Amino acid sequence: MARDGCAQVPEGPGHVKDRMQVETTATLRGMECVDLTEVVSGDGAGREQAGLRIARSLERCGAVVVQDPRVRAELNDAYCDMMQRYFAQSAECKMRDARPELNFQLGVTPEYTERARDNSEYIAALSAEDRPVAATRGLDPKWRFFWRPGASDNVVPAAFEAEWRNTMDEWGFKLQDTMMLVSSLLAVGLGAEQDTFERMLQGGPHLLAPTGSDLFEIGQKMAKLGKDEALASPLPLAGFHYDLNFLTAHGKSTHGGLYIWTREGKRVPVSVPPGGVLLQAGIQLEILTAGRIQRGYHEVIALPEVVQRVVRECAENRACGWRVSSTVFGHIRSDQVLEPIEVCAQEEAASRYPPVQAAVQVLRELESIQLAPSDPVS
Give the shortest CB-249-to-Fe ion separation in angstroms. 12
Nearer to Fe ion, 243 or 286 (CB): 243
Task: Name the residue nearer to Fe ion (CB basis): 234 or 239.
Answer: 239
Q: Which stretch binds Fe ion (CB under 5 A): 21-29, 66-74, 240-248, 263-271?
A: 240-248
CB of 280 to Fe ion, least distance (A): 8
Q: CB 361 → Fe ion: shortest distance, Å?
A: 16
Pseudo-torsion of CA 222, 227, 228, 232, nearest 10°? 30
- Specify the stretch interacting with Fe ion by CB under 5 A; choose among 84-92, 130-138, 235-243, 363-371: 235-243
Distance CA 100, CA 84 (A): 23
Q: Is 299 in the site for Fe ion (CB under 5 A)?
A: no
Residue with Cβ nearer Fe ion (259 or 353): 259
Of the candidate residues 32, 243, 286, 299, the single one contacting Fe ion (CB under 5 A)? 243
Nearer to Fe ion, 123 or 311 (CB): 123
Q: Which stretch binds Fe ion (CB under 5 A): 167-175, 194-202, 239-247, 356-364?
A: 239-247
Report the C-alpha gap between 114 and 239 in whole angstroms.
9
Binding letters toward Fe ion, positions 32-51, x by CB under 5 A: --------------------
How would DSSP label each residue in 237-301? EEEEE--SSSEEEE---SS--EEEE-TT--EEEE-PPTTEEEEEE-HHHHHHTTTSS----EEEE
Cβ at position 112, least distance to Fe ion in Å: 17
In the complex with Fe ion, the residue whose CB is nearer, 130 or 347, is: 130
Nearest alpha carbon to residue 365 among 292, 285, 284: 284
Residues 191, 172: Cα–Cα separation, whole Å: 29
Query: Nearer to Fe ion by C-beta: 126 or 300?
Result: 300
Contact status, residue 207 vs residue 334, Cβ threshold 8 Å: no
- Least distance to Fe ion from the beta carbon of 29, Å? 19
CB of 130 to Fe ion, least distance (A): 18
Q: Cβ atoms within 10 A of the Cβ of 95, count?
A: 13
**Intra-chain end-to-end CA distance of the chain, in Å:** 48
> Interface mask (CB under 5 A) for Fe ion, residues 68-97, using x and -?
------------------------------
**Complex with Fe ion: residue 52 or 65, whichever CB lies closer:** 65
Q: What element of type H or E holds 329?
A: strand 327-330
Torsion sign over Cα 132, 138, 142, 148: positive
The residue count for binding Fe ion (CB under 5 A) is: 1
182/190 with CB nearer Fe ion: 182
Residue 176 CB coordination number (10 Å): 22
Rg (the chain; Cα; Å): 20
Stretch that binds Fe ion, among 137-145, 193-201, 236-244, 351-359 (CB under 5 A): 236-244
Least CB distance to Fe ion at residue 298 (A): 6
Q: What are the beta bridge partners of residue 327? A: 250
Q: Render 99-154 in DSSP notation, one character per residue.
A: -GGGTT-SEEE-TT--B----HHHHHTS-GGGS-S--S-PBP--EEEEB-TT-SS-
Angle 164-190/47-61 helices, nearest 10 degrees?
90
Residue number of the CB closest to Fe ion reads: 243
Burial of 15 (0-12, 13-18, 19+ CB in 10 A): buried
Minimum CB distance to Fe ion, residue 119 (Å): 12
Q: Which is nearer to Fe ion, 97 or 243 (CB)?
A: 243
Residues 209, 154 contacting (CB under 8 angstroms) = no
Stretch of 150-158, 208-216, 237-245, 358-366 lying at the interface with Fe ion (CB under 5 A): 237-245
C-beta of 154 vs 211, nearer to Fe ion: 211
Least CB distance to Fe ion at residue 376 (A): 28
Tell me the closest approach of the beta carbon of residue 191 to Fe ion, in angstroms.
28
User: Which residues contact Fe ion by CB under 5 A?
Assistant: 243
